[in-house]
Structure 1
Amino acid sequence: MSCAIVILNYNDLENTLRLYKELKDFSVLTRIYIVDNASTDSSRQTLEKLQDHKCKLIFAKENKGYGAGNNLGFRAAFSEGMDYCFLANPDTRFQEAYFENVLSVFAKEKQVGLASGRMKDPYGKQATAWPLQSFSKNLLSMGPFSKRIFSSLLFYPKAYLEQKPYVEVDVLHGSSLCISKEAFQKTGGYDEEFFLYEEEKVIGQKLRRAGYKSYLCTICSYLHEDSGSTKKTLKSLVQRQKLRQQSEALYARKYLHGNFLQMLFLRLVQAVILGETLFYSLLLSK
């Protein structure tokens, strides 16, 4: 069983180098692919020095988004004979046993296409896995307040995620996951029409439609520090929210098949949320 990992870098050289140094001696990883997504800083000059028998550098000609960048790495890994490929955001941290535990799920379940361990963040605010939602429930998940109020409708009960060494889920947190060669080749990986945000739901939808399952390995975890390139590049909270809403609308139309009235209501909800974001941003600036 050969296994690789993709690290997608965009103007986040410090984290990328730190993660590479932590992973390079892990024997479970056959190859490390670092994809530079057309960074505008000095990333390329520094990363070029890393290439060796285990580390391969891929330089995107232009930044086409998170999904497109990771797909570049996946395609390279599987074309070079890898059976499985992880991805990891630069702001993640791992122990080697993490990869071994996640890979064990593929050996035990025939229909698994995607797997990951528990994601832990410094504040304990992010979900590690969640169900795919109907159009109406998806609307509830878009707002920061409604998401908290209706959390029991939107997320798995804690007991469900703790009942077995691994459990079937619909959506895995996108900061780290592992996909099989077969699942990637059949689904094409990420939908490159999405530049940023909603990728987790999209790949969950694509895998399910192709007959694959996603699993959360509950006996292992990794740390997601949430200090990556998105916040460094898009420093404005309002700017990030606008980009998120573009992806939300695309997901609702393309994967939830929202009709005219549903999409109109979605836009109204987004306008309210954007207003709240602007107000909060103004308070922070004072």
Structure 2
Amino acid sequence: MKLALVVLNYNDADNTLKLLGSVADYAVFDKVIVLDNSSNDDSKVRLKSFCEKNEKVYFVDNHENKGYGAGNNVGIRVAKDLGMDLALIANPDTDFEERVVKVLKSAMEKNVDIGICAPLVETNDVYGSRENVLKGASCWPMRDFLHSLAENGPICRRIFTKALHYDRNFYNAKIRKVGAVLGALLMVRVDAFIRLRGYDEKMFLYGEEDLLSKKMEGIGLKTAVITGYKYKHIHSASIKKSLKSLYSRQKIREESTMYFYKNYLKINPLWQIFAKVFFAFVRLEVIIFGLL
């Protein structure tokens, strides 16, 4: 099966070029697709110059920034046009070894019922521990409305951590079916992704992982993690460059989450009001305590 790497950049050429310098020449990748999401700095010029020096690397200029999901949708469509079967979507602020990619590819070749596959994020904490979860879990169960809402509340997710995440014993198996995986680094089946129309482009940022896994589940494909292999992620480094305010990031998170609740979890108007009130308190938590 042919594999492409898809990297989406927005005003983050430093991280993107650092990543490409490390992984673009990996033999496991048949093609490398670099998309600039209408950056307003010098990213486009720098990335285009890099891509022109490597025949395997394709540069795509998105003339309008419609968000993370829309940008990666373009990347997967390009991968399809280039004859790719699988695509590894990687954030610029990730770092991974070629052997990790090979294991993901092998797992998807051997398990035709897996639509999304990812390794674990490297951490000093025990997977499934409270410390690990609060810093950013690699994967989590598919949640209903109330559990999802609790996870979106900084204080609530600290209180109900055990009810919202997998415990330590879950990670003992080599490969595990999960509800969703962190979107920073994941491999997808190109045909399935396109069949499902990929990410919902009305969600500008945040929540894409849950939605994509839910869509895959709808056509009988699983989301899985390979527990013995890891990658490094500078959590939200790219996002923080373009959205420096914690409050502004929270507002976008709320908009995406509410859209997901209304259109995919189909919550009723009463629950919608409840969610809006809940998020009003979350904003206060962000302002007062600076919680994530």
Partner of 2:60: 58
State how 1:213-228 maps to structure 2 within 5 Å: 213-228=222-237
2:271 equivalent to 1:262: yes
1:227 CA drift (Å)? 4.9
Instruction: Give 2:111's match in structure 1, choosing from 93, 109, 116.
Output: 109
Which residue type is aligned with residue 153 of structure 1? A
State how 1:186-201 maps to structure 2 within 5 Å: 186-201=195-210
Instruction: Give 1:156's match in structure 2, choosing from 146, 161, 166.
Output: 166
Instruction: Give 1:128's match in structure 2, choosing from 112, 115, 138.
Output: 138
1:5 CA drift (Å)? 0.6
Structure 1 122/47 Cα, relative in aligned 2: closer, same or farther at 3 Å? farther
1:81 CA drift (Å)? 0.5
Partner of 2:154: 144
RMSD: 1.4
- Distance in 2 (alpha carbons) for counterparts of 1:110 and 1:56: 28
Aligned length: 281
Partner of 2:13: 13
In structure 2, the residue corresponding to 1:14 is in which secondary structure?
helix
- Distance in 1 (alpha carbons) for counterparts of 2:289 and 2:8: 30
1:279 CA drift (Å)? 1.8
Partner of 1:203: 212
2:3 equivalent to 1:3: yes
- Distance in 1 (alpha carbons) for counterparts of 2:152 and 2:274: 13
- Distance in 1 (alpha carbons) for counterparts of 2:124 and 2:279: 28
1:121 CA drift (Å)? 5.2
Contact (CA 8 Å) 1:91, 1:225: kept in 2 or not? yes
- Distance in 2 (alpha carbons) for counterparts of 1:185 and 1:232: 30
User: TM-score, normalising length from structure 2?
Assistant: 0.93
Which residue type is aligned with residue 15 of structure 1? N
Structure 2, unpaired ranges of 5+: 126-131
User: TM-score, normalising length from structure 1?
Assistant: 0.95
- Distance in 2 (alpha carbons) for counterparts of 1:252 and 1:230: 23
Partner of 2:88: 86
Deviations 1:90-135 (A, max 9, x none): 0000111000111111122121111011122578411011111111
Contact (CA 8 Å) 1:131, 1:156: kept in 2 or not? yes
Structure 1, unpaired ranges of 5+: none
Q: Which runs of 4+ in 1 moved over 3 A?
A: 121-124
